[in-house]
Amino acid sequence: MRFPVAFPRTRIHPVLAMFGCALLYRLAVGIHFLLIGGITYQWTNEIAAIARSLVLRHAFAGAYSGYSGPTAWAAPVYPSLVAAVFWLFGVNNQASALILLLLNVVLSSATALVIYQLGRDYLSERVGLVAGWAWALSPVGVLMPLLLWDTSLSAFMLSLSLLVFLRSNSVRQCAGAGALWGASALVSPALLAPLPAMLVSRLWKVSTRVKLGLVFCLALVLALVPWSIRNREILHAVFPVRSNGWAEIYFGNVTFALHPCASPTGLYQKIGETQFVAQLKQETIQYITNHPGQFVWRSLGRAIRFWLVPFNFLPLTLILALCCWAGAVLLLRDVGTRALPLLSMLMFYPIVYYVTHIEARYRHPIEPVIYLLAAYAACRLFDRCKEWFRKSQAQENVEQVTTPNENAAIISKPCKVPFTGDDILVIRH
C-alpha cells in the first residue's frame, strides 16, 4: 500500500544552494564576531565619522578626530549608506552594527551569483559553479563583511559592472553600463583603473565602436559630475571622487606618521584637507624624483605582497594566485583577445596599490575575477587529467588484446582431444 506524499521532493537549484550557503556561512561568522565585540571598534574609522556627521550635522565632513571640516577623503556612496542606517537605527549601537553586517553579508553572498553568471556566460557553466562555490566557502572572503568599509560593496559592484559591460551591444545598453561604472566609481574610484583597457579591448572590433564608446564615457562622466562639482565648490580643488590619492602614495613610501588618524592635532587638522593634500603631493613628487630606485623597489615588493595577503592564509592565497595566473594564460591561449577584459582586471587594477600600500581588503574587489580564472585553470587541469586517464585505460586495453596472456599461450599449443574411436583431432588457435 502506498501512502500519499505530503511534501513532494523538490530539487534545489545549485545556484540557490550556493547563495544560501554563502549567506549562512557569513552570517554565522559575522554574528560570532559581533557578539564578542569584534565589530564595534570600527565606529572610530573615517567611514563611521563621516556617517555621524551626515546624521548629526547634515554635512559630508569630519573624517578624522580633531577636524570637522568638509572632506572628500572617502567616496560618497558607502558613508551615505552607513548614515542611512544610523538615522534609522541609531548612531554607533548594536542594532546599527547588525544591520550593517547584514548589508555586507547579503552583498558578499550576492556576488557569488554574479560570479556564476559571468562564468556561465563567458567561460562555461561548470567554471561558474566552481568559482561561485569557491567564493561562497572562502575562509578569507567570509571575513570581509566584518569590515565597516566599502569592501563587500566594491566587489559586488565591480563584478556586476563587468557583467553588464560585457553584455552591452547597443547604445542604450552602453549608456546603462557607463552609468553603472560611474556609480561604482562613487563607491571606490580605484575600480576604474582597468576600465580604459577593457573598453578598448571590448569595442576594438565593433563597427560602431566610436559611438558606443562616446555614449559609455558620457554616461560615466555624468554620474561623476555632481560629486565633482560639490568638491570644487566646497573644497576649492579638483577632486573627481576622492582627495587622498597623492597622500596615500606619500604614506606608503615616505612615512605614515602624518596620517590624519595618527594624531587629533596633526598637520591635517591644523591646515585642513585641501592644503594637506597639496603639500603631500609636492613632497611625494620630490621623493620620487630624488629616490626613483627606492620607489620602484618598494613598488615591486608591494606587487608581490598584493597576491599573497593575508599572510595568515598564505598556502591558500599562494595557490589561488598561481591558479589565477595559470588560468589567465590558458584563457588567453584559448580565446585570444576576447580574454583581455578579464585579464585587464589583473594587470591594471593592482597598480593603484603597487604604488601605495597593501592590505587584503584592497585586493578583494577583483577577487571575483581571480576566482573565475582560478576555477578555469582547475577545470582545465581536471579535463586534462581525465583525458590522460582515459587514454591510459585505452592503452592498457589495447595491450591486453594484442599481448597474449598465459592462457592464450597454452591454448595456442597443439593439443590432443579425444574424439571418437581412434581418431585424434588436432586443434590449433
Instruction: Quick: pLDDT tens for 99-139.
Output: 999 999 999 999 999 999 999 999 999 999 999 999 999 99
Q: What pLDDT shows up at residue 387?
A: 86
- Say whether 73 sits in a helix, a strand or coil: coil
CA distances for 307 relative to 158, 246, 315, 322, angstroms? 18, 23, 12, 9
Global pTM exceeds 0.85: yes
% pLDDT > 90, the chain? 78
Q: What pLDDT shows up at residue 423?
A: 43
Sorting pLDDT into bands at 50, 70 and 90, what band is 393? Answer: confident
Sorting pLDDT into bands at 50, 70 and 90, what band is 35? Answer: confident
Q: Distance (Å, rounded) from C-alpha 135 to C-alpha 139?
A: 9
Task: State mean pLDDT over 322-337.
Answer: 94
- Say whether 20 sits in a helix, a strand or coil: helix
Q: What pLDDT shows up at residue 235?
A: 95
Express each pLDDT in 143-197 by its tens digit: 999 999 999 999 999 999 999 999 998 999 999 999 999 999 999 999 999 999 9
Q: Distance (Å, rounded) from C-alpha 172 to C-alpha 217?
A: 13
